């Protein structure tokens, strides 16, 4: 789980109760496996909070972007609590408010509207990653 100095760590809440949490997870995979796969990576939020030393070091040594489904912002809270370098915080619910025509019905497997929403959030995060790396 080692990161190069230029990696940005993208951490979703992966909340399981609503579609927003599933979207936060898909956003993270879209960024780390597709849009910015060379410059980002993710980690297990639950492992981080359980006190795993390698995960703690990773969020303290690298800039982090959190992706939360809902306004409770559990990923952001937990990264702050772990002493991580929080450099960006995104909420799916905010992007949803700008895209209310998308109907987010499915939690287990994202449908087409859920995937569109995930891509919209992922593109914003990709831009934020570029800004962070330019600043270094």
Partner 1 sequence: MMAESQEKKVGIVSCSGEGCVEGTISRVATRLVLEKLRPNETVTICLPLFLAGGKEEREFARDYPTITVDGCNKMCAKVATERYSAKPASSIIITALTRDWGCPKLGSRRKLNDEALAVAGKVAGRIAEEVDEVLKRWV
Closer residue to partner 1 (CB): 7 or 25:
25
25 binds partner 1 (CB under 8 A): yes
CB within 8 A of 68, min separation 6: which ones? 12, 13, 15, 24, 74, 75, 76, 89, 90, 91, 92
Closer residue to partner 1 (CB): 17 or 131:
17
Partner residues linked to 9 by β-bridges? 41, 64
119 binds partner 1 (CB under 8 A): no
Binding marks (x or -) toward partner 1, 83..102, rule CB under 8 A? --------------------
Binding marks (x or -) toward partner 1, 45..74, rule CB under 8 A? xxx-xx-x-------------------x-x
Among candidate residues 35, 111, 19, the one with its CA nearest the CA of residue 10: 35
């Amino acid at each position: 789980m080692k990161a190069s100095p230029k990696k940005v760590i993208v951490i979703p809440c992966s909340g399981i109760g609503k579609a927003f949490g599933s979207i936060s997870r898909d956003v993270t995979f879209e960024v780390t496996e597709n849009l910015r796969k060379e410059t980002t990576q993710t980690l297990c939020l639950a492992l981080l909070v359980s006190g795993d030393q390698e995960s703690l070091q990773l969020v303290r040594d690298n800039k982090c972007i959190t992706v939360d489904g809902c306004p409770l912002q559990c990923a952001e809270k937990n990264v702050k609590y772990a002493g991580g370098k929080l450099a960006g915080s995104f909420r799916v619910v905010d992007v949803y408010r700008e895209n209310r025509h998308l109907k987010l019905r499915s939690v287990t497997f994202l449908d087409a509207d859920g995937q569109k929403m995930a891509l919209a959030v992922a593109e914003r995060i990709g831009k934020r990653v570029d800004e962070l790396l330019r600043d270094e």
